[in-house]
Chain A
């Protein structure tokens, strides 16, 4: 059974189309990444899954229940950590989490225990009596994550969970996400951090300007990028001759030329490394080092969206 099935989903705010005809399925028990820059429609999609927004057309089904018609049922399954933590300035972390624990079904006694345990796990206990406005951005983020940890929903949604947090906390939060999946939750992580998506997500959908551009596992997506392997050759010799020798080979797509280095994008880079070395040596170029790398998720993103650096 699909944990989430999105069918022809369109969401408009006035004249602005935030999401346009989105179709995808998220499988039960996976960590699914929704990847895209700000304004790509990720948060709108997540907020509709969580029943905050209603679809303009189409529908979203959470464990086969429609968000349009069965919102009360859908909310029983869903827990969300918002991109911007939601609290009033006078609230304290302990009060917020205690109340949250009770509203999601714990008794008062159980709530106290689970809140203490969760706050200690996330190093929030020392901040429990501070007012919300006194908390750092990272602590506020952890507070949002703590809500979902306490709730243990069947569908856990994390919207930009590690934005504004330090490296140590980032790794700890990734562990939390994996742990939730291991304990039976389906997890959706929205992020614009390619490294994060690659690190924790099993499948990824790339959204751009409200539309789905591609969907698959990290490996599948990388394999779809033509000229996707990166071959970096350090050399001694004339750079123009090195370039000419390289371009005589078939299947060289893009390349970047430095004074003593050339970077080429091509398919099956490992298999063709020897051919490249041979071509350069035949042209009198001394090869000092050769490295073959997989494309990064950044390359995948730019390929599928057609976006350019600096357009953000």
Chain B
């Protein structure tokens, strides 16, 4: 199959997922409201409670953290549809189309990635208004970070959800992964607070997960913090490629292994 055909197939599959994205606009709206509520309720309420030595401005801290959560959550959302397509055997239709398996896999991951990036736009606007204006170089870094995080999370979510046809298991696996990644992150608390609460090794691990790394990059890029772990972008890239390759292989096995 020619490369041109493969690219076309891949883009059309991603386009299909984007079209579907708009069909769930009410769900999307409620998700955005939930994420915004995180900022408004948590941040405004806790802003005067938290220790300012560790978190000088909790609103800005949470806004940048929620930016990481938003791309993560929306990229993860594609797994709901992929899971439903497995259960209803719609995936059989995709597997019979005149395109390669690689195009199907890449198309779905790109679809999930784009959904994540589109969803995140509202939260980028929020951060621009609340936290600060990034430089052109920082803007490119923000875009790169979002792209890597969205791609990795889409691939991971798709691989997890296609590992079983059982709805209950699909939902359980997705929720477990979601909450593991979400709670073991620095979205709510900075490294210093995590170090106080978690045993030494765990606190270190938590600050090196994909969500934490992305949040750290965002905090620096929007000007909330002056310090950034110099290897954060490299680590995030490594995470993204590892998750992308592993999840793509798992997804391929899950859909075509029968």
0/1 interface trace, chain B 95-111, chain A, CB 8 Å (1 if under): 11111110000000000
- Min C-beta distance of A219 to chain B, whole Å: 33
Contacts of A13 in B (CB 8 A): 258
In the assembled complex, which residues on chain A have CB atoms less than 8 Å from the CB atom of B19?
Answer: 95, 99
Known: A13-B258, A76-B98, A104-B98. A52 touches B16 (CB 8 A): no
**Is the CB of A73 closer than 8 A to any CB of chain B?**
yes
Q: How far is the CA of A82 from the CA of B93 in the complex (A)?
A: 8
In the complex, chain A residues whose CB is within 8 Å of the CB of B99: 72, 75, 103
B13 neighbours in A (Cβ, 8 Å)? 103
Specify which chain B residues have a CB less than 8 angstroms from the CB of A50 in the assembled complex.
95-96
Q: From residue A133, how far is it (CB to closest CB) to chain B in Å? A: 11
- CB of B89 within 8 A of CB of A103, answer no
- Chain A residues with CB under 8 Å of B85's CB are 88
Q: Which residues of A contact B15 (CB under 8 A)?
A: 99
Name the interface residues of B233-258: CB closer than 8 Å to any CB of A. 256-258
Contact flags A80-103 to B (C-beta < 8 A → 1, else 0) = 101010111011000100010011
Given A72-B100, A75-B99, A104-B98: A88 touches B20 (CB 8 Å cut-off): yes
With A47-B92, A73-B1 in contact, is A103–B98 under 8 Å at CB?
A: yes
A222 on interface, CB distance cutoff 8 Å: no
Q: Residue B7 at the A interface, CB < 8 A?
A: no
Question: When A51-B95, A86-B88 are in contact, do A72 and B256 touch as well, CB less than 8 Å?
Answer: no
| Complex Cα gap A136–B201 (Å) | 59
Distance A104 CA – B256 CA, assembled complex (angstroms): 20
| Cα of A79 to Cα of B13 in the assembled complex, Å | 17
Residues of A within 8 A of B192 (CB): none
Whether A54 is near chain B, meaning CB under 8 Å from some CB there, is: yes
The proximity string for B residues 11-50 relative to A, scoring 1 for CB distances below 8 Å and 0 otherwise, is 0110110011001100000000000000000000000000
Shortest distance from the beta carbon of B112 to any chain A beta carbon, whole Å: 16
Which of B84, B85, B92, B98: most chain A CB closer than 10 A?
Answer: B98
Tell yes or no: B90 within 8 A of A by CB.
Answer: yes
Cβ contact within 8 Å between B93 and A103 = no
Contacts of B16 in A (CB 8 A): 99
B9: interface (CB < 8 Å): yes
Query: Does any Cβ of A come within 8 Å of B166's Cβ?
Result: no
Q: A54-B256, A90-B23, A99-B16 are in contact. Are A75 and B90 (CB under 8 A)?
A: no
Chain B CB within 8 A of A295 CB: no
> What residues of chain B lie closer than 8 Å to A103, measured between beta carbons?
9, 12-13, 97-99
Beta-carbon contacts under 8 Å, B191-212 to A: none
Q: How many angstroms from the CA of A171 to the CA of B123 in the assembled complex?
A: 56
Is the beta-carbon distance between B81 and A88 smaller than 8 angstroms? yes
Q: What 9 A-B pairs come out closest when comparing CB atoms?
A: A86-B93, A50-B96, A72-B1, A90-B23, A86-B90, A75-B98, A52-B95, A76-B98, A72-B100
Add 9 more A-B contacts to A75-B98, A78-B96, A103-B12 (CB < 8 A): A47-B92, A53-B258, A71-B101, A72-B100, A75-B96, A78-B98, A88-B20, A88-B90, A95-B19
A residues near B (Cβ < 8 Å) are 13, 47, 50-54, 71-73, 75-76, 78-80, 82, 84, 86-88, 90-91, 95, 99, 102-105
A-B contact pairs, 30 of them (CB 8 A): A47-B92, A50-B95, A51-B95, A51-B96, A52-B95, A52-B96, A53-B258, A71-B101, A72-B1, A73-B1, A75-B97, A75-B98, A76-B1, A76-B98, A78-B96, A78-B98, A80-B96, A82-B92, A84-B89, A86-B89, A88-B20, A88-B81, A88-B84, A88-B85, A88-B90, A90-B20, A90-B23, A103-B13, A103-B97, A104-B97
